[in-house]
A and B are shown apart, each in its own frame.
Chain A
């Protein structure tokens, strides 16, 4: 039942935001297309926890986003300095970082967060590790301390 109400409200809100016209005709058309999309996606059996991650703790993920934006700003500053300094030393490195005790969803969040912060890039993953490419060795320090990994581990109930 929650996989009917949740996708429907999500689609409805999305329609309402993008449309901006609230006449009867368009609202009915919107409701019809939401129901139609729901029907198709249920027939394709693609509606599950991966699409609607309700097992993530909402306030923690919102806090995590703000923390991530702060981290992105900090490393943007570092990478900008590297780019703008003439003759700056860059020494790219590739290392494997542990990503154990994480569900698939958490691994995706972790890998995407690493890629989002400039200076570090996830290029490969296996069951319990991620392969990270970095612009300069010292940009890995915050990741090696495991601060971000710990925060990601706490995201699920």
Chain B
């Protein structure tokens, strides 16, 4: 019984995580300019990766694998904003400035 509940929780995490990754990918294609697309990519980085890794941690239980996944989780939370900063910064340096008055569609 306990196993079944764990399985269901794990599946919920994995499925919502995958959906978050899909939404992020869709947003990167759909949103207009570069800076808005970085926001969409952020969903993949944080919510998507976070939920999938949590699901995998439930899958592997209290083992060394779970610890390694936790390390990956923590590193992702430090590196993903850094890459977003780098992208935004290099865009501005390359004179791609954020558009603040988008035409109404």
Contacts and interface: CB of A to CB of B under 8 A. Distances in A.
Interface stretch (A32-40, A85-93, A96-104, A148-156): A85-93
B7 interface: no
A84 B20 CA distance: 11
Interface string A10-33: 000010011010000000000000
Contact of B20 (A69, A76, A91): A76
Contacts of B85: 111, 115, 122-123
A90 B47 CA distance: 21
A41 B34 CA distance: 38
A111 B84 CA distance: 11
Contacts, number: 100
A92 B35 contact: yes
A84 B71 CA distance: 32
A6 interface: no
Contacts of A89: 104
B46 A118 contact: yes
B98 A123 contact: yes
A83 B92 contact: no
Interface string B16-43: 0000100100110011110110111011
A83 B68 contact: no
Given A20-B64, A72-B47, A116 B99 contact: no
20 contacts: A14-B71, A17-B68, A69-B50, A79-B40, A83-B31, A83-B40, A84-B23, A90-B31, A92-B33, A92-B100, A111-B81, A115-B42, A115-B85, A118-B46, A118-B47, A121-B39, A122-B88, A123-B35, A123-B89, A124-B92
Interface of A: 14, 17-18, 20, 69, 72-73, 76, 79-80, 83-84, 87, 89-94, 111-112, 115-124, 133, 135
Question: Top 5 A-B pairs ranked by shortest CB distance?
Answer: A115-B81, A83-B27, A76-B47, A112-B81, A123-B88
